[in-house]
Amino acid sequence: MCGRTCLTLEPKELESCCKYKKKEESKPKPPRYRNEFNCGKKYTPSFNVAPTDVTPVLVSAVHFDDSADPADRLLVPMMWGMVPRWHKGDYRKHGLTTNNCRLEGLAMSKLYGPPLAAGQRCVILCEGFYEWQTVKQMKASDRPAFYVHMPQGGKVKVEDKTTWNADDDGEQLQLLRMAGLFDVWEDEHGDKLYSYTVITFETVGKFAEIHHRSPAILETDEQVSDWLDFKRVPANRAINLLQPPKVLQWFRVSNIVNNSRNKSAQCNKPIQEGSTKSPMVPKSKLMQSWLVVKKRKVEETDEQPGVKKN
């Protein structure tokens, strides 16, 4: 399962992190960022990306240019949570949960089968995703949250942006890349909304201690190429190429991430196992004013003789 991600890179930074090499070429090239209208929804970098937010995904350039090389790639902002192309009315009211889709029976699905058959495969990009431990019996609010990411090289720390180097000569951040499907929905005015879903399957290995479902992670550049190039790799073969991840890493984070409105940089910072203390979250000016007034009243009460403290 995948319900929250973290992506704080700007479009130009993403282009640098997503450079790819075509077999007949020796020099890596960045995918071009194509900014779509998406019914007014825009990509905003965030430490706590939630469904209905817009994030850039990788797709084959053929989807936007019939004459393009299928091996060429584009970065296209799309909304998380696939909107069925046949839905009528407000795109927010289709009543389906489409953030994730199960690999099992994917080809036979009335919702996901057509995009799969049409080659509408995408790669969802993030610095990491959040997962809550659900394999143990406990209240939802008490479930520990974890930040899941790819192994990093050199001195790069996935939770510390100051250690990332976008230059060709330095160690770059290793993005986490998830296999997904996308579709295109149009409103009554002909405006298009691009949206995606993350493919998941039954968890195997160590991660099964956290959750019984996990996203389909593409760990190598070859896997990314095979998933995107639908002209070269047909749907049935592409599905069979998806395998449980082997190299994922994770650490415990604060439960401030539980609330999707919390966008603080503290969301992906590690905390000690077993700790119940959350990092300090910057308070709003209204909250700060309220605390100042409350503190003043308490101090005035303490100074009054004969006033009993609560």
Residues forming the active site: 2, 131
- Residue bearing tokens 């949206």: 195
Residue at 265: amino acid letter: A
The residues, any chain, with a CB within 8 Å of residue 242's CB and separated by 6 or more, are 103, 179, 199, 201, 216, 227
CB 225 within 8 A of CB 218: no
- Cα 268 from chain centre: 13
- Residue 255, judged by CB atoms within 10 A of its CB (0-12, 13-18, 19+), counts as middle
Cβ neighbours around 269 below 10 Å, total:
16
CA dist 117 and 55 (Å) reads 23
Q: Where are the alpha helices (DSSP H) in 56-138?
A: 113-117
CA dist 146 and 270 (Å) reads 9
φ/ψ of 63, rounded to 5, equals -65, -20
**Which of 88, 86, 113, 84 is CA-nearest to residue 96?**
84
CB 20 within 8 A of CB 14: no
CA dist 51 and 138 (Å) reads 24
Torsion of CA 165, 166, 172, 174, to 10 degrees: 120
